[in-house]
A and B are shown apart, each in its own frame.
Chain A
Amino acid sequence: KAGVTQTPRYLIKTRGQQVTLSCSPISGHRSVSWYQQTPGQGLQFLFEYFSETQRNKGNFPGRFSGRQFSNSRSEMNVSTLELGDSALYLCASSFPGQSYNEQFFGPGTRLTVL
């Protein structure tokens, strides 16, 4: 069974640009969550999508948005990039219904904003 895949793995953008990151969950998983990891703030929850609906959202500005498609693949978009958006963006998928809903993480997309 293939794991969670994220594309691209590395990305370099400049301030003011926008970026779209993609996450393909494990087959059969319907929940996709996104996290931002920075040295200063650590790992922070961005949002979660389940069956194409955003179920939960973290404390991030509206520049951060996401969506989920009918095949459970998810994208997150960051508009008007700022230097502080440089981070490792991790996607995790899970199959709600299991007793503890383990989240399986992808390898991440490392975004650098210049």
Chain B
Amino acid sequence: AQKITQTQPGMFVQEKEAVTLDCTYDTSDPSYGLFWYKQPSSGEMIFLIYQGSYDQQNATEGRYSLNFQKARKSANLVISASQLGDSAMYFCAMREIQGAQKLVFGQGTRLTINP
């Protein structure tokens, strides 16, 4: 069964610093995708970045990058130069490629950026 683990319930970071949010996963399927979503207090889930299990390069999207270590089953999100607007809940999620559109989410990390 798929499982996503986010071990940091909350993180506090100074503005402009880089921050790493941890995510480990477990699956027996060799084909899967890993996602990071941001959820502000409004509730909407905002897609940030995606990494496929066969992708050779770590994914990057602007200030977001994904540190993908397949052997360790780790997919950490790195946010460079954090901004006050980055304060939100962050969720790591996984989908097995052969399955239907079912995302399995971690418990989330609440990130607070301090001025």
Contacts and interface: CB of A to CB of B under 8 A. Distances in A.
Contacts of A56: 99-102
Interface residues of B, number: 24
Contacts, number: 66
A50 B101 CA distance: 9
Contacts of B108: 42-43
A68 interface: no
A66 B97 CA distance: 23
Interface in A28-76: 31, 33, 35, 42-45, 48, 50, 55-56, 58
A103 B43 contact: no
A26 B50 CA distance: 20
Contacts of B11: none
Contact of A100 (B44, B50, B107): B50
A103 B45 CA distance: 10
B42 interface: yes
B43 A110 contact: yes
Contact of A94 (B42, B93, B101, B107): B101
Given A45-B104, A48-B101, A55-B101, 13 more contacts: A43-B91, A43-B108, A50-B100, A55-B100, A56-B102, A58-B102, A90-B43, A94-B101, A101-B101, A103-B47, A105-B45, A105-B46, A106-B44
